[in-house]
Structure 1
Amino acid sequence: DGLAVSGGWNPNVHLTCHHGGKPVWREDIAAFVPGGNLPAGMTVAGAANGNFTTAAALDDGHGAAVAAVGELGYSADAGDSPRASDEATEVSAFWHVRESRGRAWLDHQNDVTVKDVVQAHREGFRSVEHLKRYTTLGMATDQGKTANVAALATMAEQTGRTIAETGTTVFRPPYTPVPIAAFAGRSRGRDFRPTRLTPSHDWAAERGAVFVEAGMWLRAQWFPQPGETHWRQSVDREVLQTRGSVGICDVTTLGKIDIQGRDAAEFLNKVYANGFAKLAVGKVRYGLMLREDGICYDDGTTARLGETHFVMTTTTANAVLVFRNMEFARQCLWPGLDVHLISATEQWAQFAVAGPNSRALLRKIVDPEFDISNEAFPFMACGAVNVCGGTPGRLFRISFSGELAYEIAVPARYGEALMAALMAAGEEFDAVAYGTEALGVMRVEKGHAAGPELIGQTTARMLGMQRMVSKKKDCIGNILSERPGMNREDGLELMGFRPLDRSHDLPSGAHFLATGAEPATANDEGWMTSVAWSPELGHAIGLGFIRNGHARIGETVRAWDGVRGRDVPVEIVSAHFLDPEGERLRG
């Protein structure tokens, strides 16, 4: 058995229709051809104009070419069109078998039958556009190439009109379906999405940096030196030199959102869990953001540069998410507030300068009229400065490493030059460029939460930040953060962990079990979120969540990793392995 449907030979009228042309029905070929109302300069010839035989197509093309030359103001002997045999053709339309009592299929892909067209007419859908939408005729991948003409003829029979009077739907390019892969083009593999490069990327590449993907960015992971055969040798050196003197890291990838307006402070007070309404000009504050369900989803700092001007930093991974959420809040939740946002991540190059000699180094970079002494520019201060003899910049006294530290920002076009200037000025201090691995080690040593801790199920209480969720104001997520299950006294708490045998490393992702407990879900007490080798302490350290952690300091539990076959006894300690009082960063 077989079933065939043909729409006949039809000129490609799609491009002319796309430009507003109305196709005209030709009974002799039983097809639509381009009409006369074409855009200026467009001419249709050959088979596209309904002349299907070779000779007819050549003649039509010859005539169109002569006309086009004349319209351009030229005259020439056109000669005769090429000769070709013109085989006899005749078209006899046969739309469907009227005598059949069975189903007469028109559109095989969308299962449209003659009966469906008849039913559409009976229910009042007599416009061809209505017919198309009511029956889904011609909406499949062939876009009506096989079914439209037969369906229009069937519709014409029902209305008692000719096909010309019935009309047709609008044809649109592309005539041939375009594969989705063609739109993707080269966006495959590593080219699936553009890779952003930091302002100091070329400087780092020239010095042999090993790079790692961080969100949409490529960041320097560490800077190997001659003689170093293992990545940890490079990282340990960068950490020790930074803590011993001064280190420089490109932190441009952190999201930067410029916030301005008369109500900017009130707006920030609503999107952050902690208070920002009274933040003084020239000061920075750490902020915690909650989802509507009360779960923490991002943290960062916001600096107040003026009465109506703030600059927020977000984590690299959540920069777009935070901006999108803030824009939604601005437009939909509080449209009456006078506040405006713009992403400034790519506009500013920003570098962390950390270590006991960071202030001494910056005094050689920041122009002398700006006082950056501890008295004039204390911890969590910020302000506009000039660097390197008049280049505008911004200086923030903030620390992710736990050391005396600053972040200095300049317009992105000066970023590479500033990195070179910082390293040159730091030669007398044995300054070191450090990458994301050393940055991660120092943040674990200090006990700062980061991406491995902010995983979409973390509460403020788990991070030890429940007091930051202010109850003197409202904010996104405030009410739902009060749910009893999120504030249990025996809930998970962020703690530090170190192996009893200091020669052992720690497995990230390991689950905490009581000594002697069977590895089972019922006995699970938490998990290890971040691990690092601390060159300062000389052994592995880790951060993780464990039940009722603060009340269990000094207790021994097991870090059990069934996937890698590890079972390491660890001691529960404070998450702040170095300088828990913060004396270094305030020095």
Structure 2
Amino acid sequence: MTSHRIGSLAAETLHFTFDGTRYHGRPGDTIASALLANGVRVVGRSFKYHRPRGIMGYGVEEPNALVDVTLNGITTPNLRATTEALVDGMIVRSVNASPTAADDRKGFLDRFAQFLPAGFYYKTFIWPDWHRFEPSIRAMAGLGRLDPRNQPPAQNPQIAAHCDVLVIGGGPAGLHAAQQAMGEGKSVMLVDDQPVIGGSLLSRSAEIDGKPGLEWAATVSADLQANGHRVLTDTTAYGIYDHNLVALWQRRAGQSDAQWRVRAKEIVLAAGAIERPLIFPDNDRPGVMLADAALSYLARHKVLVGRRIVLATNNDRAYPVADALRRAGAAVTIADLRPQASDGALASAKIEAVHGPKGVEAVTISGQRIAADSLLMAGGLTPSVHLYCQAGGKLTYDETIAAFVPRDDLPGIRVVGAAAGQYALTEILSLGGEPHPYAIAPAWPQRDAKGRQWVDFQNDVTVKDIALAERENFRSVEHLKRYTTLGMATDQGKTSNMNGLATMAALTGQTIPQTGTTTYRPPFVPVPFGVVAGRRRGEFFNPVRRLVLEREHRDAGAVFREYGGWLRPAWFGGANAAANIRREAIAARTTVGILDGSPLGKIEVIGADAGALVDYNSYNTLSNLKPSRIRYGFMLTESGVIYDDGVTSKISDEHYVVSCSSGHVAGVVARLEEWRQDRFDPARVFVHNSTPQWATLTASGPNSKALVAALGLGVDLDDAALPHMAFADGQFQAAPARVSRVSFTGDRSYEIAVPSAKAASLLAAMQEAGKPLDAVLMGSEALLLLRAEKGYVIAGKDTDGTTMPQDLGIIGPMQKRQNEYVGRRSLLTDNAQRPDRSHFVGLTVEGDTTLPVGAHGVETLNSKRRSIGFVTSSYDSPTLNRPIALGLIERGMERKGEVIDLVHLGQTFRARIAEPCAFDPEGARLNA
């Protein structure tokens, strides 16, 4: 054992095991600090070569120390030992190692490293067949083990918050910014990922406002909270999203973790900087560590990482670290890579070798072998610009600090402190002084680097791997990343990306700015799925939505199924589905059927720009409707694909009601709201989802007019006064009632919308009025059958993720409309105009066998059979006494009358391509 705890054992001791061996720690320890205090050097194995790995960092930058943790019998995989608080009774196991990290039976793989360079799997396993190797490779892949019992309850709260100033980072720069904002009377929210506020002050001594640094930090934090401002510790800002929405992950002791969604007028990024490793042969040995990490373990946990320490540096920040380690009792040799060094340091030092198979035993520096048990690296600081770049910020390279820094502030976002390349307290606190007080000499990898020099420690990427990528022309940093997996480990390149791109720059003869950086994407750290999901798990993930008339339908013998997230009657009358669906469909064609259509969307768009908004949201022009009229239309995605269909009713020039399918109500509301805010003046148009406020019951069939007339709604039902695709307002039991003439069956139909509180009374009245008219209650299955007879499309069932309006034969708006609408430009692309697109058609079955939904139409070309489309809907029509089907068939509109083969699970069928409408193509029954 080389590392050890300074001072006496604490009164309280925490017991835990690592790889089966029992150890102890102190309250406040992380798993990493406790392992170091117990002299554990090998904590894991690298991903590809299974080389022994030790703890290298202190926080989120740690690439090596991933562990599986078992508490109370439940295992959580792939936790970072440096950020996970130690808990009494923890069972900790290394990942990617068997049986232990110290004695991994797959460690022999490192002997074959020369045969396993970057990209070897792309080349080696392509012949004779990848699938021959796949099972073995998959068995070896992955980190950690999933525990099927680890299914935490849906208790993670989702908290929305607003403030004037959100400060991310509780170090000197963040505290100073928060203090200033508070003084200006602004509401402040300060978040930091550590359990204690202070940042660099937690490990480096300083004096601010006449107080020791930590005392000053505690005072500012207390002042913020005393004045009503929020201070969140153990909270990581892991992503900045559209419109400067910041997502926070808060760890809460004794409670479920929380996710905060914060919108602030101003975001101050004070996220600090991460120390870089140095690149030299065998720099991945256990015991090789970042200098700042060693200082933090000493200052915060009283853990001295070694007794004989070599500290390699290219900058002045390492010298205070050496002083602190010496005061704690360590012998420290400073190897300064720069030509000039302070007294006692080795100048122009070159690290030539690190000795020790499972931990540092000696270091060769410029030909001199020095006994050592730890080697610390101080390669300079890399500003934490991740959140800034996620928000769209661009970087510029600062030669004076050998790092990328933010180029400019963004709207509503500014970067301060070490994240902006400001490393001196005088600069951070606006006290004047030298801008960059620490002198640094770049120490990037060289073209002629010898030996195995590690850049990405977790994924086993070396300088030679990057050189191979350069030789094979994967020189773009994005290509380099994917070819070598550089920066793709769980630490996302926090310690490797800068050295990796500097290596590529050296290999290509470019400057580092010319080489560029990779794209920064959220999350900044791995976030538990449960935190992101919040309470949307189990039955909360997709709550059953229930009709206000569910009890009445059950009393009437309804059999329920889920449609678009709603529990709705599928049919009435018992378990014999086919017979009951057929009975309801026949009655709806011959007498009258009563259907509960309450879940259909009723979304009100109100205001001076209401017409413009509904037009922009729709493929069809809607604003030129006359009041009290209704129009059918489509909504498209931005890629021109059909998203939903429905009808829109015009109340007035400033009031429309958009109806959509039951399952798309939330989505349509969201897109209307998005475009309201992004394209229109939000003060001139408003969106209100009134779907839950109204119950809608439909009467459909030849006797529907008589049934509605018997209700006494005070509406003139004469066809001249209320034609098809019109509505009128009346009353039902002194409550408003709207009667709309729309049909999804092809027969005369009336939709009656009343306040939900009147739904039961309306249903009872309709059933009573329907008795002499032979009315029946009708479920969704009969409705779906009737609409298929008419060839009416259901978006998402009769369309797929490529279907555009022209594939349904609806091209008028595309040809006539000149103004913009969602998806318009996509309808004009080469892909949209392809002649071989799949069209919506009917299929007349040859024989009396109903086609299976999903059966593929096929044709044979050059002795090879290929799919030309598939069946989307299929029924045995009681009205036509024959099977009917709808489908998406390649060039279907041009092939009407052609007989095609269809196959499904070894069976072959034949059908003739026809018009989608198989019943009453003239539409006479709408007014019958």
Q: Settle same-fold status: TM greater than 0.5.
A: yes
Which of 350, 358, 362 is the matching residue for 2:708? 362
Which of 811, 819, 830 is the matching residue for 1:466? 811
2:915 maps to 574
2:193 maps to 139
1:565 maps to 906
Q: What does 1:158-557 align with in structure 2 at a 5 Å threshold? A: 165=215, 167-168=217-218, 172=233, 174-176=252-254, 178=256, 188-225=537-574, 230-335=576-681, 338-367=684-713, 369-387=714-732, 389-450=733-794, 451-469=796-814, 470-502=816-848, 504-514=849-859, 520=865, 523-557=866-900
C-alpha separation between the residues in 2 aligned to 1:478 and 1:513? 32
C-alpha separation between the residues in 1 aligned to 2:590 and 2:672? 40
Distance apart, 1:296 and its partner CA: 1.8
Residue by residue over 1:56-96, the C-alpha shift from the partner in whole angstroms, topping out at 9 and shown as x without a partner, is: xxxxxxxxxxxxxxxxxxxxxxxxxxxxxxxxxxxxxxx99
1:155 aligns with 2:204: yes
Question: Which amino acid counterpart does residue 127 of structure 1 have in structure 2?
Answer: P
Distance apart, 1:265 and its partner CA: 2.1
C-alpha separation between the residues in 2 aligned to 1:109 and 1:454? 46
Q: Higher strand fraction: Structure 1 or Structure 2?
A: 2
Distance apart, 1:393 and its partner CA: 0.7
Question: Which amino acid counterpart does residue 434 of structure 1 have in structure 2?
Answer: M
C-alpha separation between the residues in 2 aligned to 1:380 and 1:182? 47
Distance apart, 1:353 and its partner CA: 1.1
Higher RCO (C-alpha under 8 Å, 6+ residues apart): 1
1:127 aligns with 2:172: yes
Residue by residue over 1:410-441, the C-alpha shift from the partner in whole angstroms, topping out at 9 and shown as x without a partner, is: 01111122112111110111111111111111
How much is the aligned-residue C-alpha RMSD, in angstroms? Answer: 3.7
**Relative to 1, partners in 2 of residues 1:456 and 1:158: Cα closer, same or farther, differing over 3 Å?**
same
C-alpha separation between the residues in 2 aligned to 1:396 and 1:270? 24
**Relative to 1, partners in 2 of residues 1:220 and 1:177: Cα closer, same or farther, differing over 3 Å?**
same
Residue by residue over 1:422-478, the C-alpha shift from the partner in whole angstroms, topping out at 9 and shown as x without a partner, is: 111101111111111111111111101103123331111111111233334332222
Residue by residue over 1:281-317, the C-alpha shift from the partner in whole angstroms, topping out at 9 and shown as x without a partner, is: 1111111222222222111101112232211101112
Asked if structure 2 preserves the Cα contact closer than 8 Å seen for 1:156 and 1:166, the reply is no
**Relative to 1, partners in 2 of residues 1:203 and 1:155: Cα closer, same or farther, differing over 3 Å?**
same
**What's the TM-score once normalised by structure 2's chain length?**
0.46
Q: What does 1:66-81 align with in structure 2 at a 5 Å threshold? A: none
**Is the deviation greater in 249-258 or in 334-343?**
334-343
- Counting aligned pairs with the same residue, the percent is 30
SS at match of 1:360: helix
Asked if structure 1 preserves the Cα contact closer than 8 Å seen for 2:55 and 2:62, the reply is no
Asked if structure 2 preserves the Cα contact closer than 8 Å seen for 1:106 and 1:151, the reply is no
**Is the deviation greater in 158-167 or in 299-308?**
158-167
C-alpha separation between the residues in 2 aligned to 1:186 and 1:293? 32
Distance apart, 1:506 and its partner CA: 0.7
C-alpha separation between the residues in 1 aligned to 2:11 and 2:202? 14
SS at match of 1:569: strand
Distance apart, 1:328 and its partner CA: 1.5
Asked if structure 1 preserves the Cα contact closer than 8 Å seen for 2:740 and 2:752, the reply is yes
Distance apart, 1:539 and its partner CA: 2.4
1:53 maps to none
C-alpha separation between the residues in 1 aligned to 2:891 and 2:885? 17
SS at match of 1:461: helix
C-alpha separation between the residues in 1 aligned to 2:604 and 2:192? 50
Q: Structure 2 unaligned runs (5+)?
A: 13-26, 29-35, 38-53, 64-169, 179-190, 222-230, 234-250, 259-529
Question: Which amino acid counterpart does residue 827 of structure 2 have in structure 1?
Answer: S
Asked if structure 1 preserves the Cα contact closer than 8 Å seen for 2:172 and 2:199, the reply is no
Question: Which amino acid counterpart does residue 605 of structure 2 have in structure 1?
Answer: I
SS at match of 2:924: coil
Distance apart, 1:320 and its partner CA: 1.4
Distance apart, 1:242 and its partner CA: 0.7
Question: Which amino acid counterpart does residue 570 of structure 1 have in structure 2?
Answer: A
Asked if structure 2 preserves the Cα contact closer than 8 Å seen for 1:267 and 1:337, the reply is no
Question: Which amino acid counterpart does residue 464 of structure 1 have in structure 2?
Answer: G
Asked if structure 2 preserves the Cα contact closer than 8 Å seen for 1:263 and 1:337, the reply is no
Asked if structure 1 preserves the Cα contact closer than 8 Å seen for 2:560 and 2:567, the reply is yes
C-alpha separation between the residues in 2 aligned to 1:153 and 1:282? 70
C-alpha separation between the residues in 2 aligned to 1:138 and 1:490? 56
Asked if structure 2 preserves the Cα contact closer than 8 Å seen for 1:395 and 1:409, the reply is yes
Distance apart, 1:398 and its partner CA: 0.4
Distance apart, 1:271 and its partner CA: 2.0
Residue by residue over 1:470-516, the C-alpha shift from the partner in whole angstroms, topping out at 9 and shown as x without a partner, is: 334332222321223323444322111132111x1211111111379
SS at match of 1:417: helix
Asked if structure 2 preserves the Cα contact closer than 8 Å seen for 1:215 and 1:317, the reply is yes
Distance apart, 1:111 and its partner CA: 5.0
Question: Which amino acid counterpart does residue 485 of structure 1 have in structure 2?
Answer: N
C-alpha separation between the residues in 2 aligned to 1:10 and 1:518? 82
SS at match of 1:462: helix
C-alpha separation between the residues in 1 aligned to 2:199 and 2:862? 76
Asked if structure 1 preserves the Cα contact closer than 8 Å seen for 2:628 and 2:727, the reply is yes
Q: Structure 1 unaligned runs (5+)?
A: 12-30, 33-94, 97-102, 113-124
Residue by residue over 1:258-277, the C-alpha shift from the partner in whole angstroms, topping out at 9 and shown as x without a partner, is: 11122322322222122222
**Relative to 1, partners in 2 of residues 1:105 and 1:576: Cα closer, same or farther, differing over 3 Å?**
closer
**Is the deviation greater in 239-248 or in 265-274?**
265-274
Asked if structure 2 preserves the Cα contact closer than 8 Å seen for 1:303 and 1:310, the reply is yes
Asked if structure 1 preserves the Cα contact closer than 8 Å seen for 2:709 and 2:717, the reply is yes
Question: Which amino acid counterpart does residue 557 of structure 1 have in structure 2?
Answer: I
